[in-house]
Amino acid sequence: MKKAVFLDRDGVLTKMIYNEITCEFEPPHCIENLEILEGVYESLKQLNENDFILFLVSNQPDYAKGKTSIENLYEVGIEFRNRIINNGIQIKEYYYCYHHPDGKVKEYSFICNCRKPSTFFVEKAIAEFGIVREKSWFIGDRESDIQCGKTAKLNTVYISKDNLNSFGADYSAKNIVESVKIILKKN
Ligand SMILES: [Mg+2]
Ligand SMILES: [Zn+2]
């Protein structure tokens, strides 16, 4: 019985970066801003050791929105993967959606199939690797993550600092460390 954990990236595994111009927290747009959150490596390693197959499912619309270049987004993605590998962790597939329904860059601005809450990548992984839904999880920090996980009939953990609204997630947690503790307890 193959079980998986589907992981959102930004705000779950990597630190969101405050942009003083837009006054918003954004995903890292350059390697210098890529910071892996505390406890991520240890937590993911624990999931690996407990036979969970890991998948990354990440929306990256900031090129489509005209906020950064596609090369920058690729570069951050490559560096992220290198750090994961260098820390002895296996993430089976890295699924990225670069589209946005109303962005500024024409070729990337349309209603695509793969942007969360779409389950496109999750379904692809489930089919390709024979993942059992009831034994599998989605961890994310946005409503779209929880919606995606619920639609795919996975267990869901919503990561939030204030825990005000968990969007119907099965569990909420403050961070990845707490999330993994919940998952391993239910395992
Ligand atoms: Mg996120
Ligand atoms: Zn897409």
Amino acid found at 62: D
Q: Is 62 a catalytic residue?
A: no
φ, ψ for residue 17 (rounded to 5)? -110, 130
Instruction: Count the alpha carbons within 13 Å of 12 in the hemisphere toward its beta carbon.
Output: 25
Give the pLDDT of residue 1.
87
CATH 3.40.710.10 fits 3-186, yes or no: no
Q: Is the pLDDT of residue 36 over 90?
A: yes
pLDDT tens by residue, 53-84: 999 999 999 999 999 999 999 999 999 999 99
What ranges make up the beta strands (E) of 27-162?
Answer: 52-59, 91-97, 137-140, 155-159
Q: Taking a C-beta distance cutoff of 8 angstroms, is the pair 59, 103 a contact? A: no
Task: Judge residue 45's burial from the number of C-beta atoms within 10 Å of its C-beta, 0-12 exposed, 13-18 middle, 19 or more buried.
Answer: middle
pLDDT tens by residue, 91-103: 999 999 999 999 9
Residue boundaries of the structural domains of the chain = 3-186
Give the pLDDT of residue 78.
98
Out of 10, 62, 141, 145, pick the active-site residue.
Answer: 10
> What distance in angstroms lies between residue 11's CA and the mean position of ligand 1's atoms?
5
pLDDT tens by residue, 104-117: 999 999 999 999 99
Give the pLDDT of residue 162.
79
> What distance in angstroms lies between residue 9's CA and the mean position of ligand 2's atoms?
15
> What distance in angstroms lies between residue 80's CA and the mean position of ligand 2's atoms?
20
Q: Is 102 a catalytic residue?
A: no
Q: Is the pLDDT of residue 164 over 80?
A: no
